[in-house]
Amino acid sequence: MSNDHENQQETRKNRRHEALRYHESPRPGKLEIQATKSLSSQRDLSLAYTPGVAEPCRRIDEEPLDSYRYTNRANLVGVVTNGSATLGLGDIGALASKPVMEGKAVLFKHLAGVDAFDIELDTDDVEAFIQCVRTMEPTFGGINLEDIAAPACFEIEERLSAEMNIPVFHDDQHGTAIITSAALLNALELQGKNIEDVRCVFSGAGAAGVACAKLFESLGVPHEHIMFVDSKGVVHTGRDNLNEQKQAFALETDRRTLADAMEGADVFVGVSVAGIVKKEMVASMADRPIIFALANPDPEIAYPDAMEVRDDLIMATGRSDYPNQVNNVLGFPYIFRGALDVAASSINEKMKLAAVHALADLAREDVPETVTDAYEEDHFRFGPEYIIPKPFDPRALLRVSPAVAQAATESGVARKPVEDIDAYRESLEQIQSAAKALIRGLINKAKRAPKRIIFPEGEHHQILRAANILVDEGIAKPVLMGDRECIETRAAQHDIDLDDIEIFDPRDDERRDEMVCAYYDLRQRKGVTMTEAEAHMAQPEVYAMMMLRKERVDGVVSGLTKAYVESLRPALQIVGVAEGVTGAAGAHIVVSRDNGVKFFSDTTVNIDPDPETLAQTAIKISELARTLDVEPKIAMLSYSAFGTSRHPNASKVAQATRILRERHPELIVDGEMQADAALDPELRCEAFDFAELDGEANVLVFPNLDAGNISYKLLDKLGGAEVIGPVLLGMKQPVNVLQRGSSVASIVNLTVLTVLNAQ
């Protein structure tokens, strides 16, 4: 045995062990149930259970549709199987299929916020299966049938769809068909082939194969161009005992084996079993062929084996470890999300086709770093190795679900038709991220009056990407500072469209001399000579700050490639702090699903602020909160609680609180207090019933930079919160300093805040 082979065997063995460990610990399985209501008191108990629970029961008894109002039904899907065609493992039975069904349920929740129960029914009797699922209608808002073998799956789905008033969707049929069709449209485009001309061979005439073929037909593949091969060979008119679905696709042909069928074929779709396609078969296909070898967990032919045979091939598998993963995970969570949100009575052809086109179109778009980061890849670009979006692409939810909901509305199966598709799309962002939902609201505000924001690091590809988003969404009018040729080349390298983006090269600025003189005037009494002024103004961030000072732009966002203080310094020296403010301060907005929005300060500027600075910081961050429509409730934080310590560190916070109270009696503020008292009103009431803070604090002012900076970073990394910032507070004009290496999303977010500040 070669070393390579031994290594591969070893890797496979390790993966198998890892998979078992993953499922076994820290507790068996992948799912648990979580309560959505509080259950900590006698009162809660009487509401959640008897006697309170009787009320919604009575309501639903009178009006069954109220079940969508008072129970979890509207968001609950049953993932139902009998395990008769579990992945490509065959009929392993209901019990052994449970890990797959739990997996589907987890994906429903994780990707689209849909709750799902896995239900494994121990029966091969079609009638018994149908009756069992039918009687579960009161529990669910939809049924996702999974891994049920053909031909039983066809009758089961057809009967249940007819007999139930909720969507019934066999994922292995339609989910697979939708993703495969989206991949087909894109692969054909790249191979330069017309859908009407291609000859397609399917290995596997079961659930997935038949549904894929039907959808291919709807998209334009002629019926007679489709050839099926099953476990007995080519499905032809001379065969006996073909089931109804195979009969419909039986061709009059002399071809008998898979090798015969694949010769000269343009497209091969494998939805059968591992390893049945040989290299010679790949070699015998037409020019520029397409192979989708989708059997799971191992495809009909391994990706490297097929690619080794030809260099004009576009290849996809169901696996995540090679390019082009065609897997129904890209469909079922989003399709059900859209269907549930409009209370669709079924998932019809129009909804399926809408999903196909939404996915195909998405693959042609520029891929954001949130996706590349999740896959540890530098870049994905529409092409032979990227014909379909990645399963963890967060945009899939935002494209597929609205497309499905819209199609349901237009085709008349939506009981709650979608009225404003943009508002619906925005509401979906909440499922993915609480911060994104907050930012979406801010973006909408920014869009009402977009401002000219200059980026001194305009040559950096992250800034180019951010600028592209800012223009696309109408958030700002970005001005990219830098060498025009360099910006254009870099944009071309990264496939970034520069339309409507202003490029500003300071070397060509007609007002350059005037700008240098103005800088010299400003800094001459700080020891800057005219020669030094020339040199300083050659630094982009210095020039950008002068542009803002001279009101040639409305705001500056800088700092992507520098240490924070290096970009902060010119901002302070040139733009300066607002009237009456002794210094700037930094803030982060910390957002979490469970705890809402909190404002943290000072997180980036003042190392050991005195009471005056602390008080000013509290005022400035309260203003930021108000800009974001949050009524500030300020806690002045310390290790001490209302005088329990007389250490100078505690006294300075108490002193800052007194200053605040005197100057701004209208503010809701108290301190010095500990973080738990700030966030837990009950605890505060018990121990300090005199405290003048009402409810939970949402503005947390930290006693020093160590505390503020460490706290927001811990919440970001360990606490499951998302942070937006750093926001620079107290400046005379709108300027923000990024942290070195910020993501595109962070650059966009900070620009949004800069625009709001400039409005």
Ligand X SMILES: NC(=O)C1=CN([C@@H]2O[C@H](COP(=O)(O)OP(=O)(O)OC[C@H]3O[C@@H](n4cnc5c(N)ncnc54)[C@H](OP(=O)(O)O)[C@@H]3O)[C@@H](O)[C@H]2O)C=CC1
Residues designated catalytic: 104
Q: Using CB under 5 A, which of the segments 17-25, 35-43, 141-149, 675-683 binds Mg ion?
A: 141-149
**Residue window 155-194: x/- pattern of binding to Mg ion, with contact defined by CB under 5 A:** -----------------x----------------------
Q: Please, which residue, 147 or 230, has the CB nearer to Mg ion?
A: 147
Closest residue by Cα to residue 85 from 11, 152, 13, 18? 152
Query: Considering only 68-76, 291-299, 697-705, 740-748, which stretch makes contact with ligand X by CB under 6 A?
Result: 291-299
In the DSSP assignment, the letter for residue 758 is H
Q: Which does 232 bind (CB under 5 to 8 A by kind): ligand CC(=O)C(=O)O, Mg ion, ligand X, none?
A: ligand X
Of the candidate spans 294-302, 379-387, 454-462, 527-535, the one that interacts with ligand X by CB under 6 A turns out to be 294-302
Residues 203, 292: contact at Cβ < 8 Å? no
Integer angstrom CA distances of residue 507 from 332, 481, 504: 54, 10, 9
What token pair was written down for 128?
A: 């018994």
Write out the binding residues for ligand X, residues 166-185 only, by CB under 6 A: 172, 176
**Alpha-carbon gap, residue 638 to 116, rounded angstroms:** 44
Minimum gap (Å) between residue 184 Cβ and ligand CC(=O)C(=O)O: 17
- Let me know how long the chain is: 759
Q: Which stretch binds ligand X (CB under 6 A): 7-15, 33-41, 293-301, 425-433?
A: 293-301
Alpha-helical (H) ranges within 433-559 are: 434-447, 461-472, 484-493, 512-523, 530-537, 540-549
Strand (E) or helix (H) holding 306 = helix 303-309
CB of 159 to Mg ion, least distance (A): 20
Applying CB under 6 A, does 346 fall inside the site for ligand CC(=O)C(=O)O? Answer: no
Q: Does 100 bind ligand X (CB under 6 A)?
A: no
Three-state SS for 366-381 is: CCCHHHHHHCCCCCCC
81 binds ligand X (CB under 6 A): no
Closest approach of ligand X to the CB of residue 172, in Å = 4
- Asked if 371 interacts with ligand X (CB under 6 A), we say no
- Give least dist CB 371 to Mg ion, A: 24
> Nearer Cβ to ligand CC(=O)C(=O)O, position 145 or 201?
145
The least CB distance from residue 393 to Mg ion, in Å, is 21
Closer Cβ to ligand CC(=O)C(=O)O, 208 or 737, answer by number: 208
Beta strand pairing call for 226-230 and 233-234: antiparallel
262 binds ligand X (CB under 6 A): no
Contact flags string 309-338 toward ligand CC(=O)C(=O)O, x per CB under 6 A: ---------x--------xx----------
Contact region with Mg ion (CB under 5 A), list: 106-114, 147-155, 679-687, 722-730: 147-155
**27: Cβ contacts below 8 Å, ≥ 6 apart:** none
Q: Which of 31, 47, 87, 371 binds ligand X (CB under 6 A)?
A: 87
- Rank residues 235 and 750 by Cβ distance to ligand X and give the closer one: 235
* Amino acid at position 568, single letter: L
Query: In whole angstroms, how close is the CB of 86 to Mg ion at the nearest point?
Result: 7
Minimum distance from CB of 208 to Mg ion (Å)? Answer: 8
Q: Which of ligand CC(=O)C(=O)O, ligand X, Mg ion, none sits in contact with 671, Cβ below 5 to 8 A by type?
A: none
Q: Closest Cα to residue 224, out of 244, 207, 249, 206?
A: 249
Q: Is 124 annotated as a binding residue?
A: no
Burial (CB < 10 A; 0-12, 13-18, 19+), residue 673, is buried
197 is in an annotated binding site: no
Binding partner of 205, given ligand CC(=O)C(=O)O, ligand X, Mg ion, none, CB within 5-8 angstroms per partner class: ligand X
Give me the least distance between CB of 186 and Mg ion, in Å please: 23
Q: Is 172 in the site for ligand CC(=O)C(=O)O (CB under 6 A)?
A: yes
Q: How far is residue 617's CA from residue 609's CA, in Å, rounded to a whole number?
A: 9
By C-beta, is 90 or 138 nearer to ligand CC(=O)C(=O)O?
Answer: 90
172 is in an annotated binding site: yes
Contact assessment for residue 673 and residue 641, using Cβ atoms and an 8 Å cutoff? yes
Binds 548, which of Mg ion, ligand CC(=O)C(=O)O, ligand X, none (CB < 5 to 8 A, cut-off by type)?
A: none
- Binding residue (CB under 6 A) for ligand X from 78, 204, 289, 394: 204
Please tell me the distance from the alpha carbon of residue 477 to that of residue 469, in angstroms, as a whole number. Answer: 11
Q: What residue has token string 């954001």? A: 368
Q: Cβ closer to ligand X: 88 or 338? A: 88
Residue 592 in the binding site for ligand CC(=O)C(=O)O (CB under 6 A): no
Q: Is 157 annotated as a binding residue?
A: no
Decide if 610 contacts 616 (C-beta within 8 A).
no
**Of 115, 147, 457, 459, the one binding ligand CC(=O)C(=O)O by CB under 6 A:** 147
Q: Encode burial over 126-164: b for 16+ CB neighbours within 10 A, e otherwise.
A: beebbeebeebbebbbbbbbbbbbbbbbbebbebbbeeb
- Number of residues near Mg ion (by CB under 5 A): 2
Site for ligand CC(=O)C(=O)O (CB under 6 A): which residue of 31, 47, 74, 87?
Answer: 87
Six-digit token pair at 517? 């003189």
What's the min distance (Å) between Cβ of 727 and ligand X?
44
What are the angstrom distances between the C-alpha of 396 and each of 325, 346, 385, 723?
14, 21, 18, 23
| Strand pairing class (585-592; 596-601) | antiparallel
Q: Distance between CA atoms of 101 and 318, rounded to whole angstroms?
A: 17
Tokens matching residue 660:
């605040």
Based on C-alpha coordinates, what's the Rg of the chain?
31
Using Cβ positions, the residue closest to ligand CC(=O)C(=O)O within the complex turns out to be 296
Size of the site for ligand CC(=O)C(=O)O (CB under 6 A): 8
What residues form DSSP beta bridges with 598? 590
Question: Please, what is the minimum distance in Å from the beta carbon of residue 12 to ligand X?
Answer: 18
- DSSP secondary structure code for residue 197 in this structure: T
Q: How far is the CB of 212 from Mg ion (least distance, A)?
A: 13
What are the tokens at 79?
A: 């993932």
> Which of 147/554 has CB closer to Mg ion?
147
Residue 601 pairs with which residues in a beta bridge? 587, 701
Q: Is the alpha carbon torsion for 172, 178, 181, 187 positive or negative?
A: negative
C-alpha 72/C-alpha 68 separation (Å) is 7
DSSP state of 95: H
Tell which one of 118, 120, 157, 230 touches ligand X (CB under 6 A). 230
For residues 614 and 623, give the distance between their C-alpha atoms in angstroms, rounded to a whole number: 14
Cα 741 from Cα 749, distance rounded (Å): 14
Going residue by residue from 318 to 357, which x/- string records binding to ligand X, judged by CB under 6 A? x-------xxx-----------------------------
Burial class (CB in 10 A: 0-12, 13-18, 19+), 517: middle
Nearest by Cα to 267 from 288, 291, 249, 250? 291
**Residue 239 forms beta bridges with which residues?**
none
Report cis status (omega within 30 of 0) of the bond before 51: yes
**Closest CA relative to residue 393, chosen from 364, 372, 421:** 372
Interface residues with ligand CC(=O)C(=O)O (CB under 6 A)? 87, 147, 171-172, 296, 318, 327-328
Give the annotated binding-site residues for a divalent metal cation: 146-147, 172, 296
Interface residues with Mg ion (CB under 5 A)? 147, 172
Interface residues with ligand X (CB under 6 A)? 85, 87-88, 149-150, 172, 176, 203-209, 229-232, 271-273, 276, 294-296, 318, 326-328
Give the annotated binding-site residues: 146-147, 172, 296
